């Protein structure tokens, strides 16, 4: 990978350029952080001409390393007003990498609100008028694009939510089946894509390089070790069997499963929406567990959730969605949650942000908690862009302001994921201090064997995680591999070096991670953020979580040490 594709939506030009030397050993999130800091004025209007939308595979993108094809999508977030990298699975990262692109940088906005498709092949790239694709849901968009451009293409696209520039809009990436359900969901980057007038990026890697390793012998041995380690991990085994939904019973037991707009962390209906229930239902109905989002994945945390007749409702159904659109809404019905998930996907909405916004709407009395049909109706309102829909589509924080709900689970304007910060305090520290806003993937601590209710040591735990995650996000590796390979960074380096011909050490990899967070914080600082933004909403400090009888009590001083 040695090229950067620059797309100018004002001039309607595409241009491949060589990668600058200082970007050579950066990929994914790390490259995005550096590029945004170098090229975008942090104080710019996120939906205006100065923001840039960047697609960057990780350094391993295009290789055959299992689980290495994640795509990082970045820009200034319309939700947080800060920097954002939003990471998705599927085959987009793989195919961009195979075409030799380290990054696709989309600049400017169209002069007259024209809409386009961006098609990228081995022969170059071009902008094609989006025509009737504009307005379609992501499922139909991807299906029609694959009819038009061949069923081997990968697609990143937005739905009506992104087109309407709603801040809860994500970007959908196609998986191994061509289904656009691998979401770069967070941060509202779908709205940035909508503002740039791009409905979809279509990537055709026919006639591209084969992603062969630089050093095949070393690669073979390193791959063997890597694969063994992943296969032996009990955590990964759980992902394979139950998917991320295994977390439902874990967080519910800790008292950290967000329930009824984060008013408690224990949900009476948890069992009905648990990983076990999910697996049993899927197996009984002949759906699919152990589903891969990327080719050759050794984890297979995904699934295909089907209805009683065996017909697919949504794929995958994951923990964060089950919590935010289940317990958080007082809904203990996997079918209903799956339907909500499908709808959000199709409209192009992040299920976390949308679930949190619906929780706020229920807290504000728009519909009662537990009202399944009401929730579905509200998602339709968002998709249609009614006034109420636009309020909710702007995310939980704006929804709270408009609906008069003060207790909104959000930091820096972005909704929390599915961990109550009073019960799982390390995640609370991450929510507060991550440059990404409240984002569990920026530094999840829930798997650590600690007293999650105690404030002690949580800042350090979060810091350790926050400074580890960017390694994976820069390589394009699925974060779940860290459950195995995290303990063997030297093996990871051998694999990376064998593939790329580099000489990374664990130290230089972690240095890249630290630089990434430093650049992101520098961007945010110039966007106006201070330590006072690195805090949770007031009520988490003052209103106990009834399931644990704890408040969030990690001190400001400790929080301010996270990035020291």
Q: Which residues of this chain interact with a second copy, rule CB under 8 A? A: 42-45, 47-48, 50, 164-165, 167, 387-388, 390-391, 394, 398, 401-404, 406, 526-530, 532-533, 535, 537-539
In this complex, which beta carbon is closest to a second copy, that of residue 370 or of residue 385?
385
In this complex, which beta carbon is closest to a second copy, that of residue 204 or of residue 533?
533
Least distance (Å) from a second copy to the CB of residue 395? 10
Question: DSSP 3-state assignment of 457?
Answer: coil
Least distance (Å) from a second copy to the CB of residue 398? 6
Least distance (Å) from a second copy to the CB of residue 393? 9
- Any bridge partners for residue 4, and if so which? 17, 103
In this complex, which beta carbon is closest to a second copy, that of residue 165 or of residue 339?
165
Residues 6 or more apart whose CB falls under 8 angstroms from that of 158 comprise 138, 169, 170, 171, 172, 190, 193, 194, 198, 199, 200, 348
Q: How far apart are CA 34 and CA 43, in angstroms?
A: 16
Residues 6 or more apart whose CB falls under 8 angstroms from that of 365 comprise none
Least distance (Å) from a second copy to the CB of residue 171? 18
In this complex, which beta carbon is closest to a second copy, that of residue 32 or of residue 527?
527
Q: How far apart are CA 173 and CA 170, in angstroms?
A: 10
In this complex, which beta carbon is closest to a second copy, that of residue 91 or of residue 408?
408
Query: Strand pairing of 182-184 and 124-129?
Result: unpaired
Least distance (Å) from a second copy to the CB of residue 15? 24
Least distance (Å) from a second copy to the CB of residue 380? 15
Least distance (Å) from a second copy to the CB of residue 518? 18
DSSP secondary structure letter of residue 448 = S
User: CA neighbours within 13 Å on the CB side: how many for 204?
Assistant: 18
Question: DSSP assignment of 259-326, as one string?
Answer: BTTTTBS--TTGGGGSHHHHHHHHHHTT-EEEE-SSTT-SS-BEEEEE-TTS-EEES---HHHHHHTT
Least distance (Å) from a second copy to the CB of residue 494? 44
DSSP secondary structure letter of residue 20 = P
- H/E stretch holding 377: helix 372-384
User: CA neighbours within 13 Å on the CB side: how many for 87?
Assistant: 30
Least distance (Å) from a second copy to the CB of residue 511? 28
Residues 6 or more apart whose CB falls under 8 angstroms from that of 290 comprise 240, 241, 300, 302, 303
In this complex, which beta carbon is closest to a second copy, that of residue 167 or of residue 257?
167
In this complex, which beta carbon is closest to a second copy, that of residue 254 or of residue 349?
349
In this complex, which beta carbon is closest to a second copy, that of residue 186 or of residue 412?
412
Question: DSSP assignment of 306-318, as one string?
Answer: E-TTS-EEES---
- Any bridge partners for residue 54, and if so which? 74, 105
Q: How far apart are CA 51 and CA 44, in angstroms?
A: 7
Least distance (Å) from a second copy to the CB of residue 265? 21
In this complex, which beta carbon is closest to a second copy, that of residue 319 or of residue 540?
540
Query: Is residue 240 within 8 Å of 413, Cβ to Cβ?
Result: no
Least distance (Å) from a second copy to the CB of residue 75? 15
Greatest CA span in the chain, whole angstroms?
Answer: 63
Question: Residue-wise over 75-114: b if at least 16 C-beta within 10 A, else e?
Answer: bbbbbbbbbbbbbbbbbbbbbbbbbbbbbbbbbbbbeeee
**Integer distance in angstroms from the first to the last C-alpha of the chain?**
34
Tokens of 251: 């967080």
Residues 6 or more apart whose CB falls under 8 angstroms from that of 499 comprise 60, 63, 65, 213, 214, 215, 219
Q: Smallest Cα–Cα separation from 40: which of 78, 72, 5, 83?
A: 83
In this complex, which beta carbon is closest to a second copy, that of residue 288 or of residue 401?
401
**371: exposed, middle or buried (C-beta count within 10 Å: 0-12, 13-18, 19+)?**
middle
Least distance (Å) from a second copy to the CB of residue 535? 6
Least distance (Å) from a second copy to the CB of residue 490? 42
In this complex, which beta carbon is closest to a second copy, that of residue 282 or of residue 382?
382
């Amino acid at each position: 990978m040695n090229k950067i594709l620059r797309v100018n939506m004002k001039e309607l030009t595409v241009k491949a350029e060589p990668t600058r030397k200082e970007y050579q050993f950066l990929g994914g999130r790390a490259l995005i952080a550096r590029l945004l800091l170098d090229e975008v004025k942090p104080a710019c209007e996120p939906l205006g001409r100065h923001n840039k939308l960047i697609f960057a595979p990780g350094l391993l993108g295009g290789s055959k390393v299992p689980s290495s094809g994640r795509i990082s999508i970045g820009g200034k977030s319309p939700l947080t007003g800060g920097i954002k990298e939003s990471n998705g699975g599927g085959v987009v990262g793989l195919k961009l990498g195979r075409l030799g692109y380290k990054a696709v940088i989309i600049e400017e906005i169209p002069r007259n609100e024209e809409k386009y498709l961006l098609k990228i092949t081995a022969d170059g790239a071009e902008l094609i008028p989006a025509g009737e694709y504009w307005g379609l849901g992501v499922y139909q968009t991807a299906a029609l694009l694959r009819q038009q451009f061949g069923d081997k293409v990968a697609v990143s696209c937005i739905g009506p939510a992104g087109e309407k520039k709603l801040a809860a809009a994500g970007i959908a990436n196609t998986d191994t089946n061509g289904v656009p359900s691998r979401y770069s969901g967070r941060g509202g980057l779908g709205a940035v894509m909508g503002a740039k007038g791009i409905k979809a990026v279509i990537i055709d890697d026919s006639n591209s390089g084969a992603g062969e390793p630089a050093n095949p012998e070393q690669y073979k041995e390193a791959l063997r070790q890597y694969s063994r380690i992943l296969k032996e991990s009990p955590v990964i085994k759980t992902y394979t069997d139950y998917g991320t939904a295994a977390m439902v019973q874990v967080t519910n037991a800790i008292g950290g499963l967000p329930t009824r707009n984060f008013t408690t962390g224990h949900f009476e209906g948890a069992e009905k929406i648990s990983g076990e229930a999910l697996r049993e239902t899927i197996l009984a109905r002949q759906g699919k567990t152990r589903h891969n989002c990327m080719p050759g994945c050794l984890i297979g945390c995904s699934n295909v959730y089907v209805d009683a007749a065996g017909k697919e409702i949504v794929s995958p159904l994951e923990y964060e969605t089950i919590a935010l659109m289940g317990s958080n809404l007082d809904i203990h019905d996997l079918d209903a949650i799956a339907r909500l998930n499908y709808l959000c996907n199709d409209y192009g909405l992040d299920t976390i942000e949308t679930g949190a916004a619906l929780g706020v709407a229920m807290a504000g009395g728009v519909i009662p908690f537990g009202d399944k049909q009401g929730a579905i109706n509200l998602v339709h309102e968002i998709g249609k862009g009614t006034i109420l829909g636009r309020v909710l589509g702007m995310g939980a924080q704006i929804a709270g302001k408009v609906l008069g709900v003060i207790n909104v689970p959000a930091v820096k304007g972005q909704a929390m994921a599915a961990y109550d910060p009073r019960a799982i305090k390390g995640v609370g520290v991450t929510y507060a201090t991550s440059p990404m806003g409240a984002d569990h993937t920026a530094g999840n601590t829930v798997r650590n064997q600690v007293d999650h209710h105690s404030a002690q040591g949580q800042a350090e735990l979060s810091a350790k995680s926050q400074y580890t995650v960017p390694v994976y996000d820069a390589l394009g590796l699925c974060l779940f591999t860290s459950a195995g390979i995290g303990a063997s960074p030297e093996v990871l380096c051998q694999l990376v070096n064998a593939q790329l011909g580099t000489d990374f050490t664990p130290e230089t990899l972690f240095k890249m991670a630290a630089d990434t967070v430093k650049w992101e914080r520098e961007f945010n600082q110039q966007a106006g953020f201070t330590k006072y933004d690195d805090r949770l909403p007031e009520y988490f400090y003052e209103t106990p979580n009834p399931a644990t009888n704890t408040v969030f009590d990690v001190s400001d001083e400790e929080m301010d040490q996270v990035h020291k």
